Amino acid sequence: MTDRWRIAANLATLANALLGVGAILYVLAGNKLWAMFLIVAAIGFDGLDGLLSRRSPRPPSAFGRYADSIADAITFGLAPGFLIAVHTSNPALWSPWEPFAVALAAAYVAAAIGRLVYFTARGFQRKYFLGVPTPQAALAVIVALLFHDTPAFQSVQPIGVLIGTAIIAVLMVVPVPYPKIRAGSILRAPMAVTGAAAAIALVLLQFHPAAGSVAYLLALGAAYSMLVGVASYYVLGPFTVDRRPFPAAAS
């Protein structure tokens, strides 16, 4: 019998991966804003594939776990790495920092892939993540870029982006517990608002609103909402983790 929930989950995983590839292509084409928007959209599909998979009457499959990690590696590992390493805007400011940007981008990608390999092999057995999950890490990179590179709400500051990237990469691999955003999680609503705020900011900024205009101020407000949401997950997340083991299966 065809498992429609499993098929739908696999399609959501595929959409996640395709959006990641699109984000990389947009970075190379010189449009980081659309690249960031695609990454944010992919976070929605990443959550959707888990939701659909849990509705399936069948137990989780190894294929789905591997496919999900590969998609996440593309969208939340490689795509943010390209955002950090490729600078087609403000090249004069970034030129002295290019070697550091490329090195930190490589470190970020390595950290993302490393935590995904661990999750695929063993981490999925936990009710929580060890280290910041890659979607939230990608959101943090987007926040850093919005305020210090594109569109630089606080001026272009390569050093700020690079320091932020280094911190995010480390937090992905340190053994600090972070919650999975599922039904019942205290952070579920704030993270949903964070994703919506990110989408609003990135869509408005695509039209290059003049500083001080209504659209610009709305984008700025949405970006600050996103900043608060990401910070709340990083700071409050470890305190909301349920560390109790899964209940033993009935014999």
pLDDT in tens, 173-200: 999 999 988 767 788 888 989 999 999 9
- The predicted pLDDT at position 1 comes to 46
- The predicted pLDDT at position 121 comes to 85
The verdict on residue 111 lying in a domain is yes
- The predicted pLDDT at position 65 comes to 82
The verdict on residue 118 lying in a domain is yes
- The predicted pLDDT at position 122 comes to 81
CATH number where 86 lies: 1.20.120
Q: Domains in the chain: how many in total?
A: 1
The verdict on residue 250 lying in a domain is no
The verdict on residue 249 lying in a domain is no
- The predicted pLDDT at position 172 comes to 96
- The predicted pLDDT at position 27 comes to 96
The verdict on residue 201 lying in a domain is yes
Q: What is the pTM of this model?
A: 0.92
Residue 195 belongs to domain spanning: 4-56+63-240
Q: What is the mean pLDDT of each run of 10 residues along the chain (251 residues)?
A: 76 94 96 96 90 77 83 96 92 92 96 92 83 95 94 91 95 92 81 93 94 94 95 92 59 34
The verdict on residue 150 lying in a domain is yes
The verdict on residue 120 lying in a domain is yes
Give the 3-state DSSP-derived string for the chain, with helices as H, strands as E and coil as C: CCCHHHHHHHHHHHHHHHHHHHHHHHHHHCCHHHHHHHHHHHHHHHHHHHHHHHHCCCCCCHHHHHHHHHHHHHHHHHHHHHHHHCCCCCHHHHHHHHHHHHHHHHHHHHHHHHHHHHHHHCHHHCCEEECCCHHHHHHHHHHHHHHHCCCCCCCCCHHHHHHHHHHHHHHHHCCCEEECCCCCCCCHHHHHHHHHHHHHHHHHHCCCCCCCCHHHHHHHHHHHHHHHHHHHHHHHHHHHCCCCCCCCCCC
- The predicted pLDDT at position 244 comes to 64
Q: What is the mean pLDDT of the chain?
A: 89
- The predicted pLDDT at position 250 comes to 38
- The predicted pLDDT at position 95 comes to 92
